[in-house]
Amino acid sequence: MLDGIGTVARLGLAAVWIVSGAIKAADLNQAYIAVQAYDLLPKGSVSLVAAAVPFLELALGVLLVVGLGTRLVAVLSVVVLIGFIIAISQAWARGLTIDCGCFGGGGQVAAGQTAYPEEIARDIGFLVLAGWLIVRPRSLLSMDSWLTRRPAVVGED
């Protein structure tokens, strides 16, 4: 039962990362505009972050699909999600009017079209999935359970 919930959390978080990463990777110019709009990073590193984030998300997603290092990947997911929440919050606090670019898009939008509370709530939802996997990383059909199954030792009772 608990393994079942773990499996749903793992594959759910995997889907989030793969979808968000794939949309960003498909339009890397847009990803640059999205990162630039946060007005948070020094000029030189915007390019690097915009290039790295989509593929980092894809990697986290693929690792979760196969279930390799689930707890570690969940911890990394939390780190990335908290980073996103901080970035969105500072934009909100400073009165910037941007789209988070979480699932593609991004950049400046009209003041009436921001959706900061929704964006943060959504990320908190993803944090819950990751949190479950940190507390209890075991799930069905994962490489972890295959790699760490108990070896048959002679004389074991």
How wide is the angle at C-alpha 150 spanned by C-alphas 8 and 74, nearest 5°?
A: 35
Q: Least distance to other proteins from the beta carbon of 119, Å?
A: 18
Cα 80 from Cα 99, distance rounded (Å): 18
**Is the Cβ of residue 46 or residue 102 nearer to other proteins in the bound state?**
46
**Is the Cβ of residue 28 or residue 128 nearer to other proteins in the bound state?**
28
**Is the Cβ of residue 8 or residue 68 nearer to other proteins in the bound state?**
68
Q: Least distance to other proteins from the beta carbon of 142, Å?
A: 11
CA atoms within a 13 Å half-sphere pointing along the CA-CB vector of 102: 21
**Is the Cβ of residue 5 or residue 55 nearer to other proteins in the bound state?**
55
How wide is the angle at C-alpha 44 spanned by C-alphas 39 and 46, nearest 5°?
A: 45
Q: Least distance to other proteins from the beta carbon of 63, Å?
A: 6
Q: Least distance to other proteins from the beta carbon of 34, Å?
A: 9
**Is the Cβ of residue 12 or residue 69 nearer to other proteins in the bound state?**
69
Q: Least distance to other proteins from the beta carbon of 135, Å?
A: 17
Q: Find all residues with CB under 8 Å of 43, minimum gap 6, and list them.
A: none
List of residues contacting other proteins (CB under 8 A): 25, 28-33, 36, 43, 46-48, 50-52, 54-56, 58-60, 62-63, 68-69, 72-73, 76, 110-113, 143-144, 147-148, 150-151, 153, 155-156
Q: Find all residues with CB under 8 Å of 22, minimum gap 6, and list them.
A: 54, 58
Residue 77 in tokens: 């997911």
Contact by Cβ (8 Å): 24, 53: yes
